[in-house]
Amino acid sequence: MGELPVSGQDTVHVWIGRTAGGRPEVARRLLRRAGSALLGRVEREVVVGHAPDGRPWVRAGADVLPVSVSHDDGVVVVAARRAGAVGVDVERRRRLPAVELARRWYAAPEVAWLHGLPPDDRADGFLLLWTAKEAVGKALGRGLRDGGTGRLMPVPERPRPLLRPVPGLADLRVGHPDCPPELVLAVAVAAPAGEVAVLLR
């Protein structure tokens, strides 16, 4: 379900959890698990909190772990890496008026790409772009504020390279790792050079 990390390679670790109304606790549990796994501490030593702007943080002693959280309809996703900004977004696959929504929010090349897809593929195409925009916004620390929905994303291709440069943001890459078929998942990282693996755990 993801690439295996190469020793010494930069890796984004992604945890997917299911919720039944207890979303905050599931997210906290996954964040503690991430801190334990990547900071080498037992879970009870991992402290989880939120910055004033709402972004989550994970700390164990003096070590701080870059993390991102997303949730949608009973699913919680946590992404973490040892160093460098990370963003994650998840959406459940569903039918929606993709082209009409894209015309409202997306850049013209994205609308044209979406319109060129077979009608049955347009909802997935919309969600691929939306999750990429959300993940990039989180990696930037801005979310979708300041025109984030209009920020141009690399148009998804098949087969999809895992992480691709974001137009106009040379130090950011975004991609869609394999995940359960009912979900669309995007991961964004600040990574100016070198390969970055994504590992679903």
3-state secondary structure of 180: coil
149 confidence band (pLDDT: 50, 70, 90): confident
Buried b (16+ CB within 10 A) or exposed e, 101-122: bbeebbbeebbebbeebeeeeb
3 confidence band (pLDDT: 50, 70, 90): very low
- pLDDT higher than threshold 70 for residue 5: no
With a pLDDT cut of 90, the percent of the chain lying above it is: 71
Residue among 196, 199, 201, 200 nearest 9 (CA): 196
Helix (H) or strand (E) holding 10: strand 10-18
Predicted local confidence at residue 146, as pLDDT? 75
Q: What is the mean pLDDT of the chain?
A: 89
What crossing angle do the helices spanning 98-105 and 108-115 adopt, rounded to 10°? 170
Q: Is 51 exposed, middle or buried (0-12, 13-18, 19+ CB in 10 A)?
A: exposed
Predicted local confidence at residue 179, as pLDDT? 92
51 confidence band (pLDDT: 50, 70, 90): confident
Please compute the mean of the pLDDT values over residues 76-88 and round it to a whole number: 94
Predicted local confidence at residue 54, as pLDDT? 81
Instruction: Say what the pTM is.
Output: 0.91
Predicted local confidence at residue 2, as pLDDT? 43
Predicted local confidence at residue 21, as pLDDT? 66
